[in-house]
Chain A
Amino acid sequence: MPPASRSVGAVYNRGVASTDTYVVIAAFREAAVIEGVVREVVDAGWPVVVVDDGSGDATAARARAGGATVLRHAINLGQGAALQTGIDYALRRGARHIVTFDADGQHAAADIPALVAALADADIALGSRFLGAVDGASRGRMALLRAAVWTSNRLSGMRLTDAHCGLRAFRASAAPALRITQDRMAHASELLRKIKASNLRVVEVPVTIRYTEHSRAKGQGGFQAIRILFDYFFRTS
């Protein structure tokens, strides 16, 4: 049996941006940074779909100003639900590949080509900050992240170098097997469980995560980790 995951990086030629690859961003109250985040991806040549998850601030307008197609949830449902909405829209628009990207500016558009190129012989490519680089994370956060990787590998039965990195790419054909039903944050664990159950071919691709003051403030702390575990165990469907 082939290994469940393997790491690729420079072995893949960096592909060029294409219009059948949609970059999906779930955003909640990100008016301060979303325009810059969208613009960076749009300028690199990728179509961007932003799902404004009932923010109530100028997130939608700012995302549109950055050049994204904006979908708006009438009420806040959670990041998992927002991602799935963007994925559904991208599929209806004929996407062949879908990339998920965080709204808070922690991901780099420069990492997208490697992820998409990795889909040449994989169904899903997961970004890994531990294969790549992490800028600006405190020691405490790195410890929390490593604990998350350890827990996640125990839960999913997979052996990955990173857990819950929001930067990933997958083929449209893999989308039905990866459908997110966890509306809130437990969707990342759900995704790994579904990958494991589906026998999809997985690769990990090095990516660079940039922690800024803004992303640190929005990020998941220790208390949210408990809530995510609760969701994972009691709200599975």
Chain B
Amino acid sequence: MIIRILLLGGLAAIGWLVFLRRNKLPFHIVIVFLLLAVGGAAVLAPEATLDDIAHAFGVGRGVDLITYVFEVATLFVLLHYYTKFVELQRQLTDVVRELAILRAELERTTAGNRDRSPADS
């Protein structure tokens, strides 16, 4: 089936990218490859793997279980990044504000020095 080839191709691409960017601990890479292997097994034999798990959770099909988990996970990730975004915006505001005030203070000080210097010399 074409869909299986596409899904396996996608998993293989993820595996290749992880392999290329292997700057993390070997432990992390092993975990990722294990997850990819589980994904591969689910693609090749969904009846034997996913459906049993789905039934255990009271869901009819493995595919449905995946959809539900994916939806909740997506919302969680969105919320996480939104919170991060708001926090980053706040930090950015603080930095830009501090920069503006410091620059004004600096201009004031240098202008003051310039005004004084003829009398000093």
Residues of chain A touching chain B, judged by Cβ–Cβ distance below 8 Å, are: 51, 69-75, 77, 81, 84-85, 88-89, 92, 181, 183, 235, 237
CB contacts (< 8 Å) of B97 on chain A: these are 73, 77, 81, 84-85, 88
Chain B count of residues within 8 A CB distance of the other chain: 14
CB contacts (< 8 Å) of B101 on chain A: these are 71, 85, 88-89, 92
- Encoded as 1 (CB less than 8 Å from any A CB) or 0, chain B from 90 to 104 comes to 101100110111011
Q: Once bound together, how far apart are the Cα atoms of A145 and B90, in whole Å? A: 30
B117 to chain A, nearest CB (A): 21
A22 to chain B, nearest CB (A): 12
B119 within 8 A of A: no
9 A-B residue pairings within 8 Å (CB atoms): A51-B100, A69-B104, A71-B101, A71-B103, A73-B96, A77-B96, A88-B101, A92-B101, A181-B90
Q: Determine whether the beta carbon of A70 is less than 8 Å from that of B104.
A: yes
CB contacts (< 8 Å) of A181 on chain B: these are 90
A235/B100 contact (C-beta < 8 A), A69-B108, A77-B93, A81-B93 known:
no
Given A77-B93, A237-B86, 10 new contacts (CB under 8 A): A71-B100, A72-B100, A72-B103, A73-B97, A75-B96, A77-B92, A85-B97, A85-B101, A89-B104, A181-B90
Q: Determine whether the beta carbon of B90 is less than 8 Å from that of A74.
A: no
CB contacts (< 8 Å) of B109 on chain A: these are none
Closest to A80 in B: B93
Closest to A72 in B: B100
- Give chain B interface residues in 77-97, CB to chain A under 8 Å: 86, 89-90, 92-93, 96-97
Task: Count contacts between A and B, CB distance < 8 Å.
Answer: 43
Q: Once bound together, how far apart are the Cα atoms of A89 and B108, in whole Å? A: 12
Q: Determine whether the beta carbon of B104 is less than 8 Å from that of A183.
A: no
**Chain A at the B interface: SS class:** mixed
Q: Once bound together, how far apart are the Cα atoms of A237 and B103, in whole Å? A: 28
Q: Determine whether the beta carbon of A183 is less than 8 Å from that of B100.
A: no
Closest 9 CB pairs of A and B: A71-B100, A85-B97, A71-B104, A81-B93, A89-B101, A73-B96, A74-B96, A85-B100, A73-B100
Q: Once bound together, how far apart are the Cα atoms of A84 and B100, in whole Å? A: 12
Closest to A92 in B: B101
A72 to chain B, nearest CB (A): 6
Q: Determine whether the beta carbon of B100 is less than 8 Å from that of A74.
A: yes
Closest to B104 in A: A71
B17 to chain A, nearest CB (A): 33
Most A Cβ at <10 Å: residue of B90, B92, B93, B108: B93
Most A Cβ at <10 Å: residue of B92, B100, B101, B104: B100
Q: Once bound together, how far apart are the Cα atoms of A200 and B102, in whole Å? A: 31
CB contacts (< 8 Å) of A92 on chain B: these are 101, 105
Closest to B97 in A: A85
